[in-house]
Amino acid sequence: MSRRSLASLATAAVFVATAVLGGAGPAAAGATYSAPLRTAVASLPVAAEKNAGYDRAAQFGDWKDANRDCQNTRAEVLIAESKTTPKFTTARKCTVATGKWVSSWDLRTHTSASTVQIDHMVPVHEAWGSGARYWTKAKRVAFYNDLGDARSLNAQTSALNSAKQARGPEQWLPPKNQCQYIADWTAVKIRWGLKADATEKAFLVKKAASCANTTLKVTRY
């Protein structure tokens, strides 16, 4: 079982335990949050972004191999999301070569790992300006490599991920599944306790009003 699968099971276990036992306060790590999309969007705290001092490599690091199986976070996501059994570049199975990935942003199917990028749903620069600047380095590295919530990291068409860059949803949306995109964006912000700037929040509220008011369930980090 991949590390991402194990992390998802652990997250589910925390959700059940918190629901049964009551758990910690609503913003505590490991606590669960559940609300309709529009309520979740409305709950995002507003603050101006503060992006000064951002240095991605120095502050967030890179893909990690946390369980030392030679597969880093990128490989773990590719393995978890492939619709077929992936093949690797070497017998050690460290680096994924081929598989079958369907990008949720454009519904395009990819069979070569080289044609997809692993997207941070909330870009690292956005996270820094929305609150991560105040975190410890260890927490920022955990955000960068978050395998505990499948919405945090996803394989997407490289060209679209490059087009997105560090833009928020008020500046960029994928051509497909836009409602799912803002739901996932909101879920990741709630998971990590990140804020939204006023323009971003206003856009999310307006967009959510045109989407199905589905329930978001999030385990806070």
Residue-range domain boundaries for the chain: 3-219
CB-CB contact of 29 with 173 (8 Å)? no
Q: What is the pLDDT of residues 202-217, one digit of tens each?
A: 999 999 999 999 999 9
Q: Is 177 left (phi over 0), alpha (psi -120 to 50) or beta?
A: left
Q: Would the pLDDT of 63 be above 70? A: yes
SS3 218: strand
Q: What is the pLDDT of residues 117-172, one digit of tens each?
A: 999 999 999 999 999 999 999 999 999 999 999 999 999 999 999 999 999 999 99
Mean pLDDT of 101-113: 99
Q: Would the pLDDT of 13 be above 60? A: no
* Residue percentage of the chain with pLDDT more than 90: 86
0.75 exceeded by pTM: yes
* Cα–Cα distance for residue pair 61/141, rounded to 1 Å: 6
> Residue 191 is which amino acid?
R
Band of pLDDT at residue 89, cut at 50, 70 and 90: very high
Q: Would the pLDDT of 58 be above 50? A: yes
Least confident of 20-29, 69-78, 139-148, 166-175: 20-29
Q: Would the pLDDT of 39 be above 50? A: yes
Question: How high does pLDDT run on average in the chain?
Answer: 92
